């Protein structure tokens, strides 16, 4: 089964390479960079943290990011230890610096989709759609730049959505206890 998944992942990367152009490369590098360390999501959480009626959502976003990153970056990546596709490339083929850590699941994607999940459950549809657009761009950029396989990104999406929903559920439970 893992060989079949790897075969599909390799075919997807081979096809995405055909989409490359200098403009697309710059856009994908920018999208990926925005996701570094979850910085875009911390920045997006700031207005929520500042404006009192939205504060619970802001705190929920930060909690979801921390929970997701702990599960993804600290636990799962070190259990699975999957090599990144970029580790197989020559230096001149790389568009970004070679990441040091493992590939599975995608931390950029899991962080992005945990925020999408929180916003989907706590915010107006317009806000959620903006977050979804950024999350999809970041997730796609990771495969485009060959720092992740498609399966890394898909599992990252699911992990993020589940962690975000779980964090909202926890927050709602504790809010009911306080009322």
Contact 129, 137 (CB under 8 A): no
Please report whether residue 77 resides in a domain.
yes
Residue 17 lies in a domain: no
pLDDT digits (tens, 9 = 90+) for 32-75: 999 988 889 999 999 999 988 888 899 999 999 999 999 988 89
Q: Which of 35-39, 71-75, 90-94, 120-124 has the lowest mean pLDDT?
A: 90-94
Question: How many CB atoms are closer than 10 A to CB 65?
Answer: 25
HSE-CB for 110 with a 13 A CA cutoff: 27
Average pLDDT, the chain: 88
Q: Mean pLDDT throughout 161-165?
A: 96
Provide the whole-model pTM.
0.88
Does 3 map to a domain?
A: no
Contact 139, 112 (CB under 8 A): yes
Q: What CATH code is carried by the domain that includes residue 152? A: 1.10.606.20
Whether the CB-CB separation of 114 and 138 falls below 8 Å is answered with no
Residue 97 has pLDDT above 60, yes or no: yes
Domain tally, the chain: 1
């Amino acid at each position: 089964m893992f060989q079949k998944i790897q075969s599909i992942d390799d075919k997807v990367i081979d096809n995405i390479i055909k989409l490359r152009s200098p403009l697309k490369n710059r856009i994908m590098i920018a999208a990926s960079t925005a996701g570094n360390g979850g910085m875009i999501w911390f920045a997006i959480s700031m207005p929520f943290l500042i404006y009192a009626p939205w504060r619970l959502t802001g705190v929920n976003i930060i909690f979801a990011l921390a929970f997701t990153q702990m599960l993804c970056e600290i636990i799962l990546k070190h259990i699975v230890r999957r090599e990144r596709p970029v580790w197989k490339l020559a230096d001149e083929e790389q568009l970004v610096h070679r990441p040091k850590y493992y590939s599975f699941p995608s931390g950029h994607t899991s962080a992005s989709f945990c925020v999408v999940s929180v916003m989907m459950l706590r915010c107006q549809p317009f806000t959620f759609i903006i977050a979804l657009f950024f999350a999809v761009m970041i997730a796609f950029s990771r495969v485009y730049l060959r720092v992740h396989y498609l399966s890394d990104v898909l599992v990252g999406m699911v992990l993020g959505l589940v962690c975000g929903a779980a964090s909202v559920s926890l927050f709602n439970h504790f809010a009911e206890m306080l009322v």
